Structures are given as C-alpha cells and as structure tokens.
Structure 1
Amino acid sequence: MPQLPSCCGLIVIGSKQPVPLKGITVDVQVKGFVADVSATLKYKNEEEKAVEAIFVFPMDEDSAVYSFEATIEGKTIIADLQEKEQAQSLEDRSHWKNATDSNAHKTYDEAIKQGHQAFLLEECESSADVFSCNVGNLPPGQEAEVTLKYVRELPLEADGAVRFVLPAVLNPRYTPKDQPISVTATRPQVPIGEIPYTLSLSAHFQSAYGIAKIECNCATSPVEYTNEDKTAAKVSLSEGHKFERDVELLAYYSEVNKPSVTVEAGLVSSDAAKEPKSGSLMSESVAMLNFYPSFPAAEGPTNRGEFIFVVDRSGSMECPMNSEPNAPMRIQSAKETLVLLLKSLPLGCYFNIFGFGSNFESFFTESKEYTQQSMEEAVKMVNEMEANFGGTEILRPLKKIYDTSGRPDHPRQLFLFTDGEVGNTKEVIDEVQKNSNNHRCFTFGIGEGASTSLIKGMARAGSGISEFITGKDRMQTKVLRALKCSLQPTVNNVSLAWSLPSGVEAILLSKVPSAIFQGQKSIVYAKLQGKVETEADGEFCLQYTFKDELLKNTIRFPLKIEKVERPTIHRLAAKSLISELECGKDSRSEEMKKRILETSLQSGVISALTAFVAVNKDTKTPLEGPPVRRDIPAPSNYGFMCSGGARPVAMACRRPPQSKKMATGAGANHWRCFGPPMKCSANASKSAPVAAYDGMPPPIVMQSAVIPAAPPSVPVEETPSFVKLISLQNADGSWNLNPEIFSILGISEQEASKKNPDQTKDSSVWTTVLAVIWLHSSCLDQREEWELLEGKAISWLKAKAGSSLDQFVRAGNELLKSSVDPKVFGL
C-alpha cells in the first residue's frame, strides 16, 4: 500500500465532485430493550460516467447486521452472506486488515469488471464498529437504494433511560507505527453543516410497562402515543435533518429494573433447502435472560484498592465535548473529573495517574498512598495537564502498568478515559484480557465518534463497565457512578444454574459475567435444546459469593414460545456468540475461525470473516471500463470544532507546548493543525487524502503559503460552584476555614463565625457541616457526583463532633436558611 503523505493537515476535506448519496431513511422498532433497525441509503449518479460509491460509516459494535438488499429500477436484489478469506485483491482496499482475494470480493470485483451492477457490505476486520458499503457500476442518471437491517441490545442509563443512538460521526482512528493505515484516516470529511445528504428517521417504541416520555438531542415531531395505555409511542426527526451528528433517543419506561426472560422458537421454513440444520442455533429455541443482580449494601466503601487513572492527552482532546456554544473542552472536562475522583477516594487506598499520547508519563514512579499531601500534589499536576501529547498510543502505557506488580490486599482498578480513536483495537483488548485476573477495567468514551469496539471491548475483557459521554452528558456523573461500582466488595464465583423440564438442556451462547455490580443490567443468551412443551415452566438461578455468603437470584418463567417472523433473539444471540469467539484467546486458530464462519453463515449475521454481496446481472447494457470511485464524505468533529469551537477561515500549524516531564520521541515532533489543509510540498499528492489528526508522522515542510495566527479562542462554560467547593475539600473529607468557601456559600466569614455554636471546637467542624448542608440544599441534582465525598465528610464529622453534631446541624440550617434533614448526618 502506498504511504499516505505526511501532510500538515488535520482531516480530509471532501472534493467538490457530486456526491451520489442523496439521503438516508431509517426506521427503528424498539421493543423493550431491543432495537430492530432498517436503514435505506438512496443513491443517484448525476455524473456522465458510471461511478462506484464507497460509504464508510460507524455502527455500534454490538449491532447484528442480518440483511442487505438493493433496489434498482423497481427490482430488488437480495444479497448473499459469503465467506471472506484472509486477503483482498484490490490495492485500494488494502486498508482492510489482513484480507486478500475472497469469495465475496471476487464475486463483487468480477461483476464490476463485466460491467454489471454490484453491491458489497462488510465489517472492518480491525474494528467491529466500522462498516463499508460499496455501490458499484451505477450508470449515469440512474438511482439505486440499498437497505441494511440490524438488531441490537439497548443500554440502560443511570436515570432509567433506554438509550438508542444512530451514529454519524466516525473520527479518524489513530494508527500506531508499523500498522496499516486505518480506513478512517482516508475517509473524506466535511465541516459540520455541509453534509450533502439528509436523514429521515422514524422510531416506534413499545414497552409492556408503559412509556413515560421520549427525548431526543435533535429536533423532532411531538411524541405521539399510539394506544390508550401509553405502552406504544412514535417520534420522527424534523424534515430535512442533516446527518451531521449522532442521533440519540432516550425512552423512559415506567418500569425498567425488572428481571425478565424472553424465549423465541426455533425457525421452521417451508422451503426444505432453507431449513436450519438440526441442532444449530437457528433451529432450536433461544432464551434471553435480563437480570439485575442485587446483594446487601456494604456498610461503607472499602478503603482497600489501587486506583490507576489513565487519561488521553492526545491533540483531539482539545475538541469540545459537544457542538453547543461554549461547550467545555474534552481535556478540561477530564481534568475536572479527575479532581472529583481524587477527592472521592477513601483514605488508605493507593493511586496513580497516567497521561498518554504518542508517549506517556505517570505522576508518580509507583502508586502512592492516598494522603492529604499526595492528593494535593496530584490535584496540582492535574490542573497543569494539557492535551499536548500528540497521538493515541494506548497500548504502551497499559503494558507499563501491567508490568508493574500490584499491591497485596489492594485490588487494582483501572479507569481509562479516551475519545477512543485507535487502529489497533484488537491488540489493546487482548492486552487487557491477558491481565484480566489481576485488575478490573472501567472505560469511558469521550465525545461523538469514540470507538464502541475499543471502549466496550476493554471493559468486557477487564470485567468492568463502560460508559459513553456524548452531547450534554456530564462526564463526572458517569465516572463517579463507576467509582462507586469499583468500591463495592468483589462478587466472586458467579454461576448460572437451570431447572428445566425433562429432555430440555440449556447451552450457554454467551459467558456468564465474571463480575457483577449492584444495579447494573446483565444479559445472557442460551440455546434450549430439545423438545419444549409450551405449557411447561423453567427456572434459572444466578448465584454468587458476596463477603463469604452465597447469594441466589432466582427467576421462574413460563416456556411460552411464540413463533415470530423476525428471529430477533436468535440474531442477538448469534452476534453475542460471534463476538465471544472473535475476542477469545484462540480467535485466530483455524478451529475458532470455522466456528465463527459457521455461526455467521447459519444465522445470517455478518462477522469479520463474512460479507454481504449482491449482483444485478440483468443490466440491460453492460458498462465498459472501470467506474469512477466516489468516496462519500462524513461529518467531522475535528478542525472546525477544535480549539474554541469556531470554524477558522484558514489553517494554522504550530508545535504544541511540551510537558516538562515528557520524554523526547514521537510526541515531541507532533504538530497540531486547525482548519482545512493547505497545499503541501511536491512530496505529497494534491489529491491524496490527508492523514488523521492524532499521532501522524511529523509534517513535511510547508510551501511558502502564509500561516495565519491561531484561531481565536471561545470562552468555555464557567466551573460550577459545587465543583469549586469540592476542590477545597481535604483528603479526610473535611473543609478548613477558608474565605473562598464562604463566598461559594453566599455568607460572610464574620457571620459564619458569629453563628458557630461551639467556638471551642475546631472551626473545620463548623465549616464542614455548612458545606454538606449547602450541597444538599443547593446541588441535590448533582448528588451522584458528590455522594462519595459527602460520605467521607460525615464519617469525619461523627468522629470529630461527637454528640454536639446535632447542635451544629441545627445552627447550619438556620444560617443557610435551609431545612436539610438531620438524618443526612446519621442523626
């Protein structure tokens, strides 16, 4: 593959050639926690020559794509799911990792050479959340539609919302040295607001427990309930919507934390040739188990643990969190989150912070005990952090961490923050998996375009949880929720036991989670092999050890099996099994590849080893000569949003300031660029795509074009008052007497001193009581962010104030004109 030019550009700007993709129509059917999606891409060739349109787009890695078809001149062509071999034939497809001439590609390529129309849909082998759709030999003036269908599980947010996202943004994935350039680096990008195609989306929601409301981050029609009991509703995007940002729909059901079992009958076909093979996944009934493990609340968070926070400091972290005016920069939000984490840690634990980019550094040579001094030292360094480390080398700091021995009796908890753009996703996940016995991994994808394969894959491999922070989400809320999970005592020996009618056997298709957390939903798929009587009942029991006590969560369910037209549960189970096999330790063995292929081809669900291909051999007049390639552009979060959010008129390039502690290396030569790329020297092709933002090779010398000043900065939103208050808290949970605190509380220091009910006691007791009362009376909506540090404060108060605490609370309520319940303080 020819090396991409080391041009000093930020992103690829789409050419002014006509774009054959005119619009996308999406129909979403949501039943409970499962979405069945049909997306139709409408093409029209307005050029004088035949074109091959290539559209590279993101999709959540848990999506099970099960259908692909094309419609030309009223004729529908159903695509076949075919095997891909290890390499591909065409040079310009060499960015699809480890692929050669394959069955699917051979079919597609030969059809194109013969002048027929052909269509190809495939998953990028290096990352399960990137797909490519090829529409080949579209004649001048002709229209075509391609429709892909997929199903996926929907996550549950902390506030009870069921979340559906249709991703639009596919940021360039950083490619480590000596790795093939990621396909995302060559994809054309256009500024926000200049997408040349529209999106039409309608969504239908169903929930047996009722739908309280539906929210969307884009303009929509009013929500319409389609029945009287409000168990069904629909909503649509406003007409003419530009697909320039992720579309997020949040549905609030009346009841969401109820365990459930769904059993789906095996497929029966009237066509003997299409009858599923006996004993295969599609021929047997499949059960989907939704459970919410519950166990006794711990008396308080354990003070044992080693907490390692790994923070992305690559250039892309200087992009805003969202496209709203004055949105905070990603790095600024990460810094604020780190301060909250540091304030929330329990005394007696150990911690360290790593920053990574093209290189990496750690605050301390080894994890330090959490004390007032070490916390102050870390907070100071956090406030000095910048997004100035170049690329996104996640693997190297991980290896450094894993090569360092952990501390006895202090279980290691790894928190990783990144905007998730790497080209070696599989290697990173493998490294986490290899070390899964000695740590738990919690991951956070920041901003639109974060790789779902990376973020979810690392958390799954490390028995942790993953979160995505997009739109107006506060990073702090989701991260502090994960910290609470990490502070829970470890649940061990998780297993699943079945009680089924005679002759029926349950065979797991997905792993039982190795770690479970209070209030976190888990899904397990199982094949029910054997003859199932419709009137019979079944039972499963999730059991585990918690603090040396064996606990059981049992659910009894009727084996009422209904035949369905769309085998949704079977497809989700097939996707889950494929993902398990692809992420397993022996995923590259011939035996595993055979199992992946069998599961994919039998279920019709795409995998990294298969692709959908359709050929229209009824072309009236076969076309001559190769078609003109047209890459469909996509919205970009970079260049036009970075460093202030405003779109600069021209490009500015400069070296970033370097960290004092940063070692020399790749990061030292990294350039940050703003705006559209300028012309480069003769060493680079003018028409070649420009390399990705994070971590590309050092730029070549620019032509004599004038480099204007950097774009003007845009003020970011002010730090919330409660965050300012928290930043002043001590490691033990107390607050010292400080004029800044009283400014936040809205009272004078003299007034506070005068109302102190016990002048003989340490003034920190009075100040801490006032701080806790103010948090409850003024910032209750943000309690999830300060609940842990409040717990530390109250524990400290009980030890220091003793029997006089009640007196302090009454005086504090009077001074702050509030009515906080003394029970908050354990009184």
Structure 2
Amino acid sequence: MTVPITPLRPEECRPVPDAGLGALETEKGNLPLESVDVTAHVTGLVAGVEVVQTFRNAFDVSLEATYVFPLPPRAAVTAFRMEADDRVVDGVLKERGQARADYDRALAEGRRAAIAEEDRPDVFTIRVGNIVPGERVVVRLMLSQPLPYEDGAAEFRFPLVVAPRYIPGAPLPGAPAGDGVSPDTDAVPDASRITPPVLLPGFPYPVRLSLATTIDPAGLDLREVRSSLHEVDREGDTISLRPGERLDRDFILRLAFDASSSLALVPDAATDSGSRGEGTADGSGSAEDAAEDTADAEGTFVLTLLPPKDDATRTVSRDVVLLLDRSGSMTGWKMVAARRAAARIVDTLTRNDRFAVLSFDSVVERAFSGGLVDASDRNRYRAVEHLSRLDARGGTEMLAPLEEALRLLDGQSASGPSGEQARDRVLVLVTDGQVGNEDEILERVGARLHGVRVHTVGIDRAVNAGFLGRLALIGSGRCELVESEDRLDAAMEHIHRRIGSPLVTDVALKAEGMDLVADTVTHAGSLYPGVPLVVSGRYRGRRPAGALTVHGRTADGRPWEERIEGRPAHGPAARALWARAHLRTLEDRYAMGDHSLEQRIVDASLRFGVLCRFTAFVAVDTRVTGEGGPEHRVIQPVEPPSGWEMPTAVPMMAAGAPMMARMAAFTTAGPEAASGSAADRPIAAAPPPGAPPAAPSAPPYAAAPAPGPRRASRGFSVGRFLPHPGEGTAPVTDFEGIRPLLAEELTKLGQAESLPERERRRYLADLASRLRVVAQMVGGHPDLTALATDLERAEWAEVSLDDLWWRTADLLTALTGRSGSAVTGPASSGSATPGSATPGATSPGPGAKEGRRPFWKRS
C-alpha cells in the first residue's frame, strides 16, 4: 500500500506563539514556582539574607512542587517557614530521615507540608506538598553568610541557578533518590537529586525575580560598590535588581573598604537552653546578662587578623602542576577565559620553578611527556601554545587528572635533594567545578593533599563554589571565582600571589583570660598577602572578655606573633556561621572516609540550629486540606546558566522518566545509557555537525575506564589513611613493603648532609610528611610517627638541627636493619583487603551503616 505525503499550505498551519520543547502551559499558568524574592542586609563582613519562594498550583488537582536551587556555600541556614491560606507554620530542624518521615506522613493524611534539605554545600531542595488547586504557598529561608575580603574589597555573591553537572559512573539499580534528569550512579549515588531539568534558552515565562541588598559599613570607610553581572538601581544604602532579570547567573556585589584586625566575643543568648532540635537561631539582646547567670556559659569568638607586610625579596622554588578543565560544560567564553587564566599562571613561573600542564575531559593530555619540566622561556612558550589549541569537548572526569597531578608532585617531592633546596608543591585547578561526584573525589585524594597547596580557579556565572572551596580548604590554598572575562585580570593577580609561599605558616592561637572549648576552633591555615586570617570558635566564661595571641613562623623560620584584645558583640550571625564552618569540616572528614562522625554531625546541627546534609527543616500544617497525598508532582525546571551554549535539539527521556524531565531535559541519562561509559553521554551541548571526535589525535595518558572495571579496581580507600582521633589506620602493606622506601630515604639523607643549614632544615620538614605516609602504610608505627612530629618543627630557628639530623639517621638505620617481626604497631593484625572500603555498585554509598539506608534516601 502506498500512502502519499501531501505538504500543508502555509495558511493551513498556525504556529502557536512561544511553543516548543520546554514550554508547558495551562490556562492558569505553566510552572509551579511563581517568584523568588531575596532580601539581604550586609553589615560589615556579614550578610543576613531572607529568601522567599512563592509556589502556585495552576492545575485542577492537588500538587507537590519540587525546586532544586543554590545558596552560598558558606551560608548558615537557620530558619524555615511555610505560609498558606492565612496560616504560618515554622519549620523544625530534625534528623533527615525523621524529617522526611514526618513530611510523607503529613501528605498521606491530606495535610499541607514543606521540607528543606541540603544536597551539596551550595545545592538545596525544597518540596511543598498538598497545594490545593489555585492556591499559593510561600516558603521562607533565613540564613547568614560571611563576605570574603581581599585586597581592600569584600564580595557579596548570591547564586541564583544550579548549573548542570557532569555525572560519572555506572547507573545504580532501584528507585532513584530524586526526580532529576540523571540516574544515580556508583560514583554519584544521589545524582538524581542535583540534576534538575533545564529549560531551553528564552523560555517565555521566567520566574519573577527580585533582589535587594542594604549595605551598612558598620563603621568601615566604604569607598565604592560595584555590580558585576546584573543591571542594578541604587537608592540610598539599598541596591536592587532592575525588573526583568532572570535566574541564570550569580548576583555579585564588590564593596571596597578598609578592614582592620579585631576579636569579637559574642555570648550565647538565653534561648540556647531551648529544646534540642528547634529550627530557630539564638536571638540577640541581653545575651551578656543571661550568660552571667550560667556558670558554664559559652559564646562564639570571631578573630580577623590582617597579614604582616609582604617581604618582596623572598624567592622560593616551586613545583607547579596546572590542571585545565576542557570538558563540554566549558564551551564558549568559559573556555576562552580558562585558556587565558592557565596561560597567565604559566607566565608567572620563574626559571627556578618546575611545572607540568594537564588538560582533561574524558581523557588526560599533557603539554610535555614525562614529569615536571624546568620553567624555561622555551618550555613556557610550548605550554602556552598547547593551551591555545584546546577546545571544549567530552565529559568532566576530574578524579583521574587530580590523581595524576598528585603522582607527579609526590614523585618530585620523594626524589633526593641533589644539592638543591626544598621546593614548594603547588596544584592549580582551573574549572567550573560542575561535577556530581565531589564526595568520591575528596575520599580518593583528600589524604594525599598533605604538603601540597591547592589553588582552585572557578570560571562560570553559576560556579560550583562549594566543591572548589572545600578542595582549596583541604589543600590550604586559595579559591578564586571568575564570573566574566572582565574579572579575569584581577583574579589572576590574586592567584599569582597565592602560588608563592605564604607570609606566615604554622599559625596557632593562645587564649588569655578566656577558655577555648576543645575541638571547636576552625582551621587557621596560613597568612597570605592581602588576605585577612579569619578564625572562629567557641569559648567558655561568664563575661565576654579576654585576648588571643596568634603565633606562627615566617618564611625564614623565625617566630612571629600578634596579640588581639577581645570586644563584646551581639547578634546570632557569629554563632551560626561558626556552626556552619564547623559542620562543613566534619562533613569533609566524613566524605573522606570517617563515617563514624555522622551522629556527631547530627547532634551539632540540631544543637546550634543550622541545616546540614544530615538534617532537614520540616514544616507541617495541622489542618487537613484534602484526601490523601498530592495527585500531581512537578519538579521545577531551572534556567540554562548565562553564557552556556545549550543544544538546539533536545533528546527525549525514556518513557518512564518524570514528566518534567521528559519536557525539559537536555542530557541523555536514561537507563539506555548504561551500556556505554559515562564519558560517552553528552553533558551540556551536543557537538556541532562536523566537529572532531572527542578522542585526541595523540594517545592520551589514560582513557576513561569503563564503569564496571573502574569500580572493581579502585584499590584501597584513602579515607583509611586519615589520622582521625581515636582511630587507627588500616595497613595496606607489611614492613617489608616499606623497607625499600626507608632505605632510599636514608640514602637521600646522607646526600643532603652537605647542604646549607636552611636547606637541610627544609629537607627534614619535607621528610616529615613522607615518614607519616610510610607509617600509615603499615597501619601506624609509633617511632616513625614520633620522629615525623618532631621533624615538622625542623625549620624553627630554636630547634637543634644536628640533634634532629642524627636522630633521623639512627632511626632509619635501625629500621632498615630490622626484620618485619620486630616492627611495633598493628601492621600484621586486622589487615583490610585493598578496596574493601571503596564505595561501589554493590555498596549502598557513603554514609550507609549496615542495614541502614544512605542519609539522602532515609524516610
């Protein structure tokens, strides 16, 4: 049978205005999120923010709406509220599984409810259930965030869109954890929670956005206010977005003023004695008077210390590995800016430095074969030429290049000094950070960052600042965010200074007239030029009084100190921000393998009323509005990030995918993708016709491994190498396995004996980190650990170099002549099979106890 195909005449077909894939419309509206209103009050270096989201049910049946959205990664969410039908319900902070159970129970009983959860440091999810037809529900989030300060300017950055993230790994069986467009994988077991569908560019019904920021300099001399990415209006002290702006890029204000060193002492308010689990932050007012009535009263201190003047004559040789992300999400201006940033970093190197340049997507490519090369004029020119040829392509496989970079740096640090001084080891990562397997990356490389300074350059208008900040914090480095090419020059000037050695290291605090609570002081790090040191913690005492003395070491080993007197202060922000920083530190240790911290994280979150990944705010109305649960569920699609090149055609999802994902998804991430590697799935944009294939013309360093074998051969979990208090480390070899390493170190020690005193001190300090790793390889060795502890102080001028040198030689000589049975420590007992702690397809994922679901799936 032959069926003729007759073309339609133009007058027979009328295109619907604004129609197309991604445009769902009803007679009453299209998508549940109607508006987002942000109100911020900046006081000095702290911002208090209220985020108001309005949801409207445009359907004829009851609705559950889900919205995945960003918040600043260092913000502390302290309160949550739901308003509907003239009713106001305050949210309560609970353990995440309990909060979900309460939410699900309320929906099943026909009651209105809302829940707020954190999925990443900067990615959050709100669900509002049982919205009756035609009804509006308003949810409010209250939060505090610190403003980073550098070179005379503070920055208020508020993210407005969750950018698509690359999801590596093999899909997991079973029900997904969320309603996003990507399946959960063994590398990102909650991928479906952080991948909301994306609207096509120019969607005709954007969410109504308003954002207003009021600035109070708090006594500081405010010289200038600049907006980076948005058009704004200013009226007095308030800066507002102009109408018509969309939720597609970060809002950024830069405030130029002079900071000063200070120590603020903020006593807890009387409401701190309220019931555990309440979701409100402590108030201000007569906090000091209330604290005086309690013998064990506590408070929060915030220390801000300006760095000493830079000694421009210092020169330190460096080993630098530069990692450049060239994956598909870097398409467009980001790739141009990334190439420029990388080239600027290469140009800052000197003839005394060595370096390597690695570019990565689904494979890793080198600018030079072999290891690090001298930073000669010729080599720097070759590196810049290599960078200029790079284009965006493929998937963001970030773990392999990070491991390769650390291998290069470890290899150089382990080589003998051969007459040269110790060198600083530096890793610089240039990326947008849009990956979903942050926890896997931290678990695999976190313990290896000891002794390596990690600086991250995040290039995007909706950058993954949470992950890049965590990586830089663990590596005691700098995280610089670049939202446009105009910002690049200033950012590169900062990174240039960060690559150099810090002004003061080994920073420690000594309290005078105040009692610091153990294990509450945040990471002190080092002092860099132009960047104040900010440290917070908890103190105990009736009155907010006392001082802190900051001790450290200058680059030449001399002791340095400065004393700061404390001043009483009030307000809930300091306590909340300290709690968020403390929780983030615990969460990072958890991500790197210490899963025993879960209950401690939950307890701290509930005590201080600050949201984290293990808790959730839940608001449940007592009024019944319907029969049973919602009849329709919608996940709100998000705007494509500004500056991203989105595809012109969108592949449809599998038939069983959520309705909104089928409507607006731009990735192919259904079950049918499981047969290929994760790198084969497009992420941000399909390549244009005629584009070259993703594979390079030259053989890469390492191809993207297949999901199955890669999981099966991951080796031991580096989380077991972390020195967690109260825990041992699982051995990965016996003493015979480390004997050759000790023998090699003994040989190098003899070769270094003729070096000048300063270089010998640096050599011993560097040796300390290697001996710690060797000790951990056998599950712990008390003699090596004790020696490493003392060697870490080798650069101190008052420490006897000769005593340390001969003590090191004696111990290494004795150990290399022993038998394995003579070694003390748990090297021969309780050995774990390599890879046994590695999360994989057969494991429920990080955070799961035996017989218990992961925290992101509990209910």
Instruction: Name the CA distance, whole Å, in 2 between partners of 1:203 and 1:189.
Output: 28
Matched, 1:166 2:158: yes
- Give 1:365-764 correspondences, 5 Å limit: 365-388=370-393, 390-404=394-408, 405-407=411-413, 408=417, 409-488=422-501, 491-500=504-513, 504-505=515-516, 507=518, 509-532=520-543, 536-558=545-567, 560-562=568-570, 564=571, 567-584=572-589, 589=594, 591-619=596-624, 621-637=625-641, 641-642=644-645, 674-678=647-651, 688-689=661-662, 690=665, 692=667, 696=678, 698=680
Moved more, 439-448 or 206-215: 206-215
Q: Secondary structure of the equivalent of 2:575? A: helix
Secondary structure, counterpart of 2:522 in structure 1:
coil
CA distance in 1, matches of 2:274, 2:194: 43
Q: Give TM-score, length-normalised by structure 2.
A: 0.67
Equivalents in 2 of 1:707, 1:361: separation in Å?
20
Partner of 1:81: 93
Q: Secondary structure at the match of 1:429?
A: helix
Tell me what 1:753 maps to: none
Take 1:380 and 1:594, find their aligned partners in 2: how far apart are those partners?
52
1:185 to 2:195 alignment: yes
- 1:337 aligns with 341
On the 8 A contact 1:195/1:244 being kept in 2, the answer is no
Query: Deviation of residue 169 (structure 1)?
Result: 2.3
Find the counterpart in structure 2 of residue 808 from structure 1. Answer: none
Alignment gaps of 5+ in structure 2: 1-19, 171-184, 283-289, 670-676, 692-859
Letter in 2 for 1:109: D
2:101 to 93, 103, 106: 106
Distance 2:328 2:687 in 1: 19
Matched, 1:289 2:296: no
Give the 3-state SS of the residue equivalent to 1:269 in structure 2: helix
SS of the aligned residue for 1:57 comes to strand
Query: What's the CA shift string for 1:410-447, capped at 9, x where partnerless?
Result: 22111000111111112223344312223110001111
Q: 2:142 aligns with which of 149, 165, 169?
A: 149
Q: Tell me the equivalent position of 1:130.
A: 123
Alignment partner, residue 52 of structure 1: 64
- CA deviations on 1:503-550 (whole Å, 9 max, x unpaired) are x44546233423331221221112120222x6x543433433431111
Cα separation, 1, equivalents of 2:494 and 2:109: 57
Which of 230, 250, 261 aligns to 2:263? It is 261
Residues 587 and 114 of structure 1: CA distance in aligned 2, closer, same or farther (over 3 Å):
farther
Describe the SS at the equivalent of 2:423: coil
Residue aligned with 1:289, SS:
strand
Deviation at 1:403? 2.7
Uncovered stretches (5+) of structure 1, i.e. residues with no partner: 1-10, 85-101, 225-232, 320-328, 643-672, 701-705, 712-827
CA offset at residue 31 of structure 1?
Answer: 0.9
1:622 partner letter: G
Q: CA deviation at 1:468?
A: 0.6
The structure-2 alpha-carbon separation of the partners of 1:12 and 1:119, relative to structure 1 and needing over 3 Å to count, comes to farther
Cα distance in 2 for residues equivalent to 1:693 and 1:300? 52
Once the two structures are aligned, what percentage of the paired residues are identical?
24
Residue 112 of structure 2 corresponds to 117
For residue 155 of structure 1, what is the amino acid of its counterpart?
P
Residues 24, 200 of structure 1: 8 Å contact kept:
yes
Residue identity opposite 1:299 in structure 2: T
CA 1:145 to 1:61, structure 2 compared with 1: closer, same or farther past 3 Å? same
**How many Å separate the matches in 2 of 1:485 and 1:499?**
32
Q: Specify the alignment match of 2:832 in structure 1.
A: none
Question: What amino acid does structure 2 have at the position aligned with 1:176?
Answer: P
Amino acid at match of 2:650: P
Contact persistence 1:192–1:637 (CA under 8 A): no
Contact 1:214 1:223 in 2 (8 A): no
CA distance in 2, matches of 1:683, 1:55: 21
Deviations along 1:603-648, one digit per CA (max 9) or x if unpaired, are 11001100011111213x423453311111211138x842xxxxxx
Tell me: CA distance 1:113–1:12, structure 2 relative to 1, closer, same or farther (3 Å): farther
What root-mean-square deviation, in Å, do the aligned CA atoms of Structure 1 and Structure 2 show? 3.2
C-alpha separation in 1, matches of 2:385 and 2:121: 39
SS at match of 1:511: coil
1:510–1:580 contact (8 Å) kept in structure 2: no
Task: Please state whether the residue corresponding to 1:524 is helix, strand or coil.
Answer: strand
Q: Distance in 2 between matches of 1:239 and 1:682?
A: 39
Q: What residue in structure 2 maps to residue 215 of structure 1?
A: 226
Q: Distance in 1 between matches of 2:580 and 2:687?
A: 50
Query: In the alignment, what sits opposite 2:367?
Result: 363
Q: Is the 8 A contact 1:190 1:634 kept in 2?
A: no
2:66 is aligned with 1:61? no
The 1:219/1:336 distance shift into structure 2, 3 A limit, reads closer
Residue type matched to 1:350 in 2? Answer: R
Q: Distance in 2 between matches of 1:315 and 1:587?
A: 28
- Deviation per CA, 1:632-683: give whole Å up to 9, x if none: 1211138x842xxxxxxxxxxxxxxxxxxxxxxxxxxxxxx72241558989
Bigger mean CA offset, 162-171 vs 290-299 = 290-299
Partner of 2:50: 38
Segment drifting more, 333-342 vs 139-148: 333-342
Residue 168 (structure 2) aligns with? 176
Q: 1:682 and 1:692 mapped to 2: Cα distance?
A: 15
Cα distance in 1 between the residues matched to 2:232 and 2:295: 39
Q: Indicate the residue corresponding to 2:856 in structure 1.
A: none
1:216-268, Cα deviation, whole Å (9 max, x unpaired): 232322240xxxxxxxx222222454333322222223x22x11122212120
Is the CA contact 1:298–1:488 (under 8 Å) kept in the aligned structure 2?
Answer: no
Supply the AA of the counterpart residue of 2:135.
Answer: Q
In the aligned structure 1, how far is the partner of 2:629 from the partner of 2:689?
Answer: 47
Amino acid at match of 1:493: D
Contact 1:185 1:691 survives alignment (8 Å): no
Query: Distance between the aligned counterparts of 1:685 and 1:197, measured in 2?
Result: 21
In structure 2, how many angstroms separate the alpha carbons of the residues matched to 1:240 and 1:469? Answer: 24
- The verdict on how the C-alpha distance between 1:470 and 1:122 changes in structure 2, with shifts beyond 3 A counting, is same
**Aligned counterparts of 2:116 and 2:590: Cα–Cα separation in 1:** 27
Matched, 1:237 2:237: no
Report the residue type matching 1:212 in the other structure: R
Residue by residue over 1:678-719, the C-alpha shift from the partner in whole angstroms, topping out at 9 and shown as x without a partner, is 55898999975446489956469xxxxx999689xxxxxxxx
The corresponding residue for 1:802 is none
Q: Is the 8 A contact 1:45 1:141 kept in 2?
A: yes
Distance 2:296 2:166 in 1: 38
1:298-333 deviation line (CA, Å, top 9, x unaligned):
41433x1111110001012113xxxxxxxxx22222
SS at match of 2:439: helix
> Which one is further off, 175-184 or 571-580?
175-184
Secondary structure, aligned partner of 1:107: helix
State the 1:166 CA deviation. Answer: 1.9
Equivalent of 2:206 in 182, 196, 200: 196
AA at the equivalent of 1:262: A
Return the TM-score normalized by structure 1: 0.69
Task: Output one character per residue of 1:565-610: Cα deviation in whole Å (capped at 9) or x when no partner.
Answer: xx11111111111011111268765641121111100111001100
Q: 1:609 to 1:419 in 2, by over 3 A?
A: same
Equivalents in 2 of 1:617, 1:117: separation in Å? 8
Give the drift of 1:113.
Answer: 1.3
| Structure 1 residues 578 and 684: alpha-carbon distance in aligned structure 2, compared to 1, 3 A threshold | closer
The aligned counterpart of 1:657 is none
